[in-house]
Amino acid sequence: MVYIAEHKKIFFTVTNDLTTDQRMIRICSSLANEGFDVTLVGRILNNSAPLKDENFKQKRLRCFFNFGKLFYAEYNLRLFFYLLFQKMDGICAIDLDTILPGVFISNLKNCPLIYDAHEYFPYVPEVIERPKVQKMWLAIERFAIPKTQLRYTVSQSIAEAFEREYKLPFGVIRNVPFSRPFQTLEKKEKIIVYQGALNKDRGLEQLVAAAAGMPWTIYLYGDGDIKENLVQLVKEYGLEKKIIFKGKLAPSELWVETQKAYLGINLAVDKSLSYKLSLSNKLFDYIQAGIPQVMINLPEFERINNEAAIGLLIKSLEVKEIRDAINRLLDDEKLYISFAQNCVSLRAIHHWENESEKLIKMYHDLFK
């Protein structure tokens, strides 16, 4: 049933090329299904894949510069002038890097400004390592957030941090996957799986070191900045037959492969406040696949694990601690089955169909 949503035009703005942004595809699809007229705006790169047909509009802007300060300046300017000539009833900025055009356009068009924080932007590692850059993003955040009419983010911990800072309510829309048909598969081989970016501060170097001398088989799904370093590290440890780089798969293919695994790896270096308060989507992907996981003891991971234990929480990325946790799950069948059964229970709760109901209510309340 379509309510006030019908014909309400909302623009969502990101800096990526749209093709792999599963969170935004889910959000835009859900709102479009509800009757909103949705346009997702990003940028196009020379190597961007063609856009897939969706039930919402998509627009990509081309820039001369593709990284650094010049990119942000150019993209925000192009975004402003694109939005200036569009009719709209609301605009949603994803993170701080597109919020300034949103502030100015919402003022000019007298429409609500929405902020969707995918991370605690001024406190991500690449920002906190550059004090002048962090000061700039904090200034933008303090300028823009008080001008928003709706705010939400990806975890309860980040929402609480924003609320303490700005004394404004923040909703929580977590980055959870769609529910999928589930069947218990016979685990013929105890494969360990990691899915996600092969980037620093994900505990991957420590995982490789922990695998030395162990009879494990590890599949790494994804790509990223440290892939070549990891390949070299695997060679140094002589683990080429035990740690397999599977590349980046489409979400549907990754789902099939993850179900076949025995347990998942979900580690991160507690290097910044943004990382500490984060809630990675792979946690829910493993839950949906019904596989227990070894995870670092971050507040949001602990929050989910307290609902029903779905894996082992470790306090640090010490190689011995990682190794001991993995071996315990591989060897203790009774504990493993208990975690797997809890995954099956939680997968009926933590999925996008439930999460989207909160999202839709937020937007109906905003426009009623």
Q: What is the mean pLDDT of residues 332-358?
A: 95
Is residue 196 domain-shared with residue 309, that is, in the same domain?
Answer: yes
* 8 neighbors 36 (Cβ within 8 angstroms): yes
Q: Is residue 305 part of a domain?
A: yes
Is residue 155 domain-shared with residue 107, that is, in the same domain?
Answer: yes
Q: What is the mean pLDDT of residues 269-282?
A: 86
Q: Is residue 115 part of a domain?
A: yes
pLDDT greater than 80 at residue 7: no
Q: Is residue 186 part of a domain?
A: no
Largest CA distance in the chain: 63
Please report, as a single letter, which amino acid is at residue 127: V
Is residue 159 domain-shared with residue 15, that is, in the same domain?
Answer: yes
Residue 11: pLDDT band (50, 70, 90) is very high
Q: Is residue 169 part of a domain?
A: yes
Is residue 168 domain-shared with residue 199, that is, in the same domain?
Answer: no
Q: Give the position of tokens 């609902």.
A: 307
Nearest CA among 14, 305, 27, 308 for reference residue 154: 27
Q: What is the mean pLDDT of residues 352-367?
A: 96
How many domains are there within the chain?
Answer: 2
Is residue 40 domain-shared with residue 124, that is, in the same domain?
Answer: yes
Is residue 287 domain-shared with residue 314, that is, in the same domain?
Answer: yes
What's the pLDDT score for residue 12? 98
Is residue 160 domain-shared with residue 206, that is, in the same domain?
Answer: no
Is residue 138 domain-shared with residue 238, that is, in the same domain?
Answer: no
Q: What are the tokens at 53?
A: 């047909």
Residue 248: pLDDT band (50, 70, 90) is confident
The enclosing H or E element of 152 equals strand 150-153
Q: What is the mean pLDDT of residues 28-48?
A: 94
pTM (2 d.p.) = 0.89
State the CB neighbour count (10 A cutoff) for residue 368.
8
User: Dihedral of the CA atoms 5, 9, 15, 17 (nearest 10)?
Assistant: 90
Q: Which residues make Cβ contacts (< 8 Å) with residue 59, sequence separation at least 6?
A: 39, 40, 41, 42, 82
What's the pLDDT score for residue 186? 76
Q: What is the mean pLDDT of residues 237-242?
A: 96
pLDDT greater than 60 at residue 3: no
pLDDT greater than 90 at residue 1: no
Residue 277's SS3 state is coil
Q: What CATH number is attached to the domain comprising 252? A: 3.40.50.2000
Is residue 355 domain-shared with residue 342, that is, in the same domain?
Answer: no
Look up the domain containing 237 and give its range. Answer: 191-347
Q: Is residue 2 part of a domain?
A: no
Residue 54: pLDDT band (50, 70, 90) is very high
Is residue 169 domain-shared with residue 219, that is, in the same domain?
Answer: no
pLDDT digits (tens, 9 = 90+) for 188-212: 789 999 998 898 888 999 999 999 9
Q: Is residue 181 part of a domain?
A: no
Q: Is residue 4 part of a domain?
A: no
Is residue 49 domain-shared with residue 158, that is, in the same domain?
Answer: yes
Residue 4: pLDDT band (50, 70, 90) is low
Per-chain mean pLDDT for the chain: 93
State the CB neighbour count (10 A cutoff) for residue 249.
15
Residue 2: pLDDT band (50, 70, 90) is very low
Is residue 25 domain-shared with residue 165, that is, in the same domain?
Answer: yes
Q: Is residue 314 part of a domain?
A: yes
The enclosing H or E element of 23 equals helix 22-33
Stronger pLDDT, 269 or 161, i.e. the higher one: 161
What's the pLDDT score for residue 125? 79
pLDDT greater than 70 at residue 119: yes
